[in-house]
Amino acid sequence: MARSSEIGSVHLGVTAFLLRRLLQGVAIIFTVATITFVLVHAAPGGPFAGQLDDARFTPAMREALIRRYGLDQPLPTQYVRYMGRLARGDLDVSLAQQRPVRTILAETIPRSLLLMSVALLLGFALGIVAGALQAARRDSWLDRQVGRISVALAALPDFWLALTLLLVFAVRLRWFPVSGMVDDALHEYLSPVGRLRDIAWHLTLPAATMALIIAAVVARFQRQALLDVMPDDFIRSARAKGATERSIVLHHALRNALLPTITLFGMALPALVGGSVFIEYIFAWPGMGRAAVEALGARDYPVVLGTTLVSSVLVVIGSLVADLLAAAVDPRLRHG
């Protein structure tokens, strides 16, 4: 390739790469929406089985429900209408709460994102540090112990770890609150700083639960990724240059070993969102996952469906972010 066009082609490469990923993401979300449509209509009795059988529903109300959702229309028409509503961001109305699902999600998603992002940051930081320590002192006592702990942690069911931490640190030791996001009685009367501290105090246990499991998985990946790059030429050069083992791990290997961890982040997202449902439910964190579980109890399927759809969108956005991060860390991806 001619040298003059190289810079241009690099830019084109990044844009084309991102554009392709974006289109893939849109296609995935479109397919997810179609899957949910099929699910709703494949359910025994159709979307309003519970409501239509309810004796309290008068025939007129039933009629209105059917007309409102176009259940008397042919399926393709219903499908087009359904997708049209989704495209406008209309996620239907909650059956139990009588308000738009969009409003419920707008309230709960930021709380879920707060919990997840704190847990992710903590978990990745802890995991990368642990993995780097293990790789730097390979086969030492420390390596083996940290390895054992992370294997055990990664095998812990998230809901059980949450219950155990709750039992020990909230119920027995009373260091942290048992549930909720704020102190219901006091929060209103606190100063802005006091309010933040109140939220942080409530956030600690749920975020720590998620972070511990994330860290365990990240540490295993990070250790292996570091050991994988250690035999590479650039590490040998650094060593020949006289760099200390510590600086080799920190400056040379870590940067190169970050890629598998970022890829891991993209792939772990669905499990992470799923796991947050349990954590939110157990610690009564008023997020999206808890809303879904509560809606499930009321067979309030629009809320559950909305949560599922939005979670999938979050997952798709998350993997896009992971791709961007990977491209930022690894020039080969940018130029390739």
Interface positions with other proteins (CB under 8 A) = 24, 27-29, 31-32, 35-36, 39-40, 43-44, 47, 49-50, 151-152, 154-160, 163-164, 166-167, 171-172, 210, 213-214, 217, 220-221, 263-264, 267-268, 270-275, 277-278, 281, 292-293, 295-297, 299-301, 304-305, 307-308, 311-312, 315-316, 319
Contact indicator for 61, 55 with CB cutoff of 8 Å: no
- DSSP secondary structure code for residue 187 in this structure: G
For other proteins, give the closer residue by CB, 245 or 308. 308
For other proteins, give the closer residue by CB, 248 or 318. 318
Q: Within its chain, how far is the Cα of 76 from the centroid?
A: 33
Give dist(CA 2, CA 170) in Å, integer: 66
For other proteins, give the closer residue by CB, 295 or 327. 295
Instruction: Give least dist CB 98 to other proteins, A.
Output: 18
Instruction: Give least dist CB 231 to other proteins, A.
Output: 15
Contact indicator for 212, 120 with CB cutoff of 8 Å: no
For other proteins, give the closer residue by CB, 75 or 167. 167
Give dist(CA 64, CA 74) in Å, integer: 17
For other proteins, give the closer residue by CB, 256 or 312. 312
For other proteins, give the closer residue by CB, 60 or 155. 155
For other proteins, give the closer residue by CB, 206 or 238. 206
Instruction: Give least dist CB 208 to other proteins, A.
Output: 13
Give dist(CA 308, CA 288) in Å, integer: 10
Contact indicator for 209, 184 with CB cutoff of 8 Å: no
Give dist(CA 127, CA 15) in Å, integer: 32
Instruction: Give least dist CB 136 to other proteins, A.
Output: 22
Instruction: Give least dist CB 80 to other proteins, A.
Output: 19
Instruction: Give least dist CB 273 to other proteins, A.
Output: 4
For other proteins, give the closer residue by CB, 24 or 97. 24
Instruction: Give least dist CB 42 to other proteins, A.
Output: 8
- DSSP secondary structure code for residue 170 in this structure: I
User: Measured between alpha carbons, how far is residue 208 from residues 127, 134, 217 in Å?
Assistant: 13, 22, 14
Contact indicator for 329, 264 with CB cutoff of 8 Å: no
Instruction: Give least dist CB 125 to other proteins, A.
Output: 17
Give dist(CA 261, CA 148) in Å, integer: 20
Give dist(CA 261, CA 267) in Å, integer: 10
**Which distant-in-sequence residues (6+ apart) come within 8 Å of 159 by Cβ?**
278, 279, 281, 282
Residue with the two structure tokens 């055990």: 152
Instruction: Give least dist CB 305 to other proteins, A.
Output: 6
User: Measured between alpha carbons, how far is residue 7 from residues 24, 59, 172, 323 in Å?
Assistant: 26, 69, 62, 21
For other proteins, give the closer residue by CB, 3 or 56. 56
Contact indicator for 92, 302 with CB cutoff of 8 Å: yes
